[in-house]
């Protein structure tokens, strides 16, 4: 039976343009777990920042310490409002003479507008490179071996937080170690005209093309938040599980006072939680969660666990009810289904 409630949202920005599946969901999901999956990551926005003040301005507007970045560094940072809310999660790549910035899908405009608002005549020029570049992601335990076979043994970008340039199929590519599904993972950024050649080479080397259903299941099980579903201006970085991208020693940035106060005084109200339920079609994104007759959270993403067939999801749950094992009622205080909070894949 089809279960539309738990199907990946067709209009989810990070799944834009992806077919639901290429061959079989199980095969694609297994590739991500045990082999190498090839994911089209081009919906992510790509910006180029030029100018002497670019690094300093981004450092003043976001949560992580960008001041000490050197060429080859790739750092995640959260662009925050002055209320400490999430504008977007960014990946900043430091080149010799400019920065490359990867934004969330459909987030180029709000990110650019936000940065421009705070630029008072500083030397910063932003160019949207989303159309003329493409991004392909490899994820899974065999990623390094596959890259070696497809491109050559010396192209591995290194530890998470670094990137390298390589020549692949006659074109220049950036290889960024992002581990985007909390598995060994690399994003390859190339000129858009070369993406089909690169994609074919990676498939020929043994990568399995992954569609929306398998990708969404893997993302949810890994607890990776997506822009629009889990990351928005309604949320702060603590509750969205982005604590690894906060610096508490860098000094002031926009939103810092709120972000630090939430941490210092233990004021985080809710946590992004991994959830599970049965049957899979009982719960979908947007469903409210209840405990003791009160609304304590909501489901933000839902999919089917390809292995077990159970429903899995991400959602925000109030702290008192977000411990692993907690049972919540879905849909109404009486509950049309029971949702269980599962062990979080990341520390809070």
Partner 1 sequence: MTSRVRPKRPIPNTAVQLTESAVEHVREFADVEGKPDANLRVAVKGGGCSGLTYVLELVEEEAREDEKVVEEHGLKVFIPKRSFVFLAGTTLEYSGGLNGKGFVFHNPNARTTCGCGTSFSV
Q: How far is CA 102 from CA 65, 158, 162, in A?
A: 17, 19, 14
Nearest approach, Cβ of residue 256 and partner 1 (Å):
5
**For partner 1, which is the closer residue by CB, 156 or 253?**
253
Strand order in the sheet with 185-191: 163-168, 171-177, 185-191, 133-139, 37-40, 208-209
Phi then psi for residue 217, to 5 deg, are -60, -45
Q: Is 253 in the site for partner 1 (CB under 8 A)?
A: yes
Give, as ranges, the residues between 283 and 322 that touch partner 1 (CB under 8 A): none
Give me the count of residues in the chain: 348
**For partner 1, which is the closer residue by CB, 257 or 292?**
257
Nearest approach, Cβ of residue 56 and partner 1 (Å):
9
List beta partners, residue 74: 93
Q: Is 121 in the site for partner 1 (CB under 8 A)?
A: yes
**For partner 1, which is the closer residue by CB, 53 or 278?**
53
CA distance 263 to 274: 21
Interacting residue with partner 1 among 55, 229, 256, 300 (CB under 8 A): 256
Q: Is 255 in the site for partner 1 (CB under 8 A)?
A: yes
Q: Is 49 in the site for partner 1 (CB under 8 A)?
A: no
Nearest approach, Cβ of residue 122 and partner 1 (Å):
7
Interacting residue with partner 1 among 12, 57, 108, 240 (CB under 8 A): 57
Q: Is 125 in the site for partner 1 (CB under 8 A)?
A: no
Q: Which two tokens stand for residue 313?
A: 């999801």
**What is the sign, positive or negative, of the torsion defined by CA atoms of 46, 84, 322, 244?**
positive
Phi then psi for residue 296, to 5 deg, are -125, 5
DSSP reduced 3-state for 162: strand
Contact region with partner 1 (CB under 8 A), list: 66-74, 128-136, 237-245, 253-261 = 253-261
Instruction: Give the interface with partner 1 as residue ranges (CB under 8 A).
Output: 57, 60-61, 81-82, 115, 117-122, 252-258
């Amino acid at each position: 039976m089809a279960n539309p409630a738990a199907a990946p949202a067709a209009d989810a920005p990070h799944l834009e343009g992806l077919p639901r599946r290429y061959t079989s969901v199980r095969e694609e999901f297994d590739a991500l777990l045990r082999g190498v999956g090839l994911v089209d990551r081009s919906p992510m926005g790509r910006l180029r920042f030029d100018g002497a003040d670019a690094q300093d301005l981004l450092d003043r507007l976001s949560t992580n310490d960008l001041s000490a970045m050197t060429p080859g560094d790739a750092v995640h940072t959260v662009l925050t409002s002055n209320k400490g809310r999430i504008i977007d999660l960014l990946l900043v790549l430091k080149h010799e003479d400019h920065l490359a910035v990867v934004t969330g899908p459909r987030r180029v405009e709000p990110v650019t507008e936000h940065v421009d608002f705070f630029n008072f005549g500083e030397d910063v020029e932003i160019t949207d490179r989303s159309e003329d570049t493409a991004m392909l992601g490899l994820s899974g335990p065999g990623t390094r071996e596959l890259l070696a076979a497809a491109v050559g043994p010396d192209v591995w970008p290194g530890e998470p937080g670094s990137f390298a340039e390589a020549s692949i199929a006659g074109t220049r590519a950036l290889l960024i170690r992002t581990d985007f599904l909390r598995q060994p993972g690399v994003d390859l950024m190339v000129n858009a005209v070369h993406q089909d050649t690169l994609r074919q080479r990676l498939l020929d080397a043994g990568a399995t093309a992954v569609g929306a259903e398998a990708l969404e299941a893997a993302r949810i099980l890994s607890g990776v938040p997506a822009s629009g579903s889990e990351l928005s201006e309604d949320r702060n970085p603590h509750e969205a599980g982005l604590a690894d991208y906060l610096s508490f020693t860098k000094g002031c940035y926009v939103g810092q006072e709120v972000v630090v106060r939430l941490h210092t005084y233990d004021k985080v109200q809710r946590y992004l939680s991994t959830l599970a339920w049965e049957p899979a079609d009982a719960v979908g994104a947007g469903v409210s969660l209840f405990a003791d007759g009160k609304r304590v959270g909501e489901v933000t993403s839902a999919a089917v666990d390809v292995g077990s067939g159970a429903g899995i999801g991400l959602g925000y749950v109030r702290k008192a009810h977000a411990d692993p094992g907690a049972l919540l009622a879905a849909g109404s205080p009486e509950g049309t289904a029971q949702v269980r909070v599962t062990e979080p894949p990341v520390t809070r």
